[in-house]
Amino acid sequence: MLRDRFQRQSFLGRDSKLVLKSARVALIGVGGSGSHVVQQLAHVGIGTIVIFDADKAETSNLNRTIGTRRIHVLLRSRKVRISKRFARRISSKTKVIAYPLRWQRKAEVLRTCDIIISCVDSLQSRRELEVLARRFMIPLLDVGMTVSENGKKFSISGQFILSSPGDACMWCLGFLTDANLAEEANKYGAAGHNPQVVWPNGVLASTAVGFCVRILCPWCEDRDIHDSKYLNYDGDNGTLINNDLLPKLTYGCSHYRPNIMQEPRW
């Protein structure tokens, strides 16, 4: 006898199946972290997933990108096509709208989404995404990880950020600064060669999906469920904890005020 596939998600609420099915979630980037996100969104029953990525599969993706196989590299398959097929194999009822291009070229599509999940490489792209998300009052969930070298030793770190409209933004949280944007601009093109592995991406992607579902179907009593979040990931010790800056912030955001918001320009 076939049972409801979402039976064990019933704690999310009586109407959670319908809410998740009606949800429209945008995902920017379907590489290391994004491929995990697509997989999990399909599993939990998100009705529509809108994905953006201009890249094609490469050999270096095989160690961490879920669903990518060697045949995809040989065929130079688009990452969004791989993710779309993978999600559809998980759930045939999931609608996946794939754009094999940079999101800025179809930015108007994001206005129709309930939540945006950012799995991009650059700070500048995060900055532009947050401008759009704030303009249209859309929660933005961002993940990122890096492997840094100190002498002959390496360290894995990363972050999860929920940028919630009306609350602290990435500038308020200290994640975006003029200094680190300028530093990135001086190192333009280097991000694609940084070390990457599968397990930190999985941890951070799972965190993003968890908060995505929590926003749509809150399962716990939490007064600050829609407040911005900033979690630091320490891959060396396997911890994910609140950033020290967050408790010091007051409510609100001085960078994106509703009365001075303007149409984004790319």
Domains and CATH numbers, the chain: 7-259 (3.40.50.720)
Q: Which residues contact 65 (CB under 8 A, 6 or more apart)?
A: 30, 31, 32, 35, 57, 79, 82
How far CA 230 is from CA of 97, 118, 141, in Å, comes to 29, 14, 10
pLDDT in tens, the chain (266 residues): 447 888 899 999 989 999 999 999 999 999 999 999 999 999 999 999 999 999 999 999 999 999 999 999 999 999 999 999 999 999 999 999 999 999 999 999 999 999 999 999 999 999 999 999 999 999 999 999 999 888 788 999 999 999 999 899 999 999 999 999 999 988 765 555 678 899 999 999 999 999 999 999 988 876 677 789 999 999 999 999 998 766 566 567 888 876 555 555 54
pTM of the model: 0.92
Backbone angles phi, psi at 24, to 5 degrees: -125, 110
Give the residues across from 142 on adjacent strands.
118, 161
CB 131 within 8 A of CB 41: no
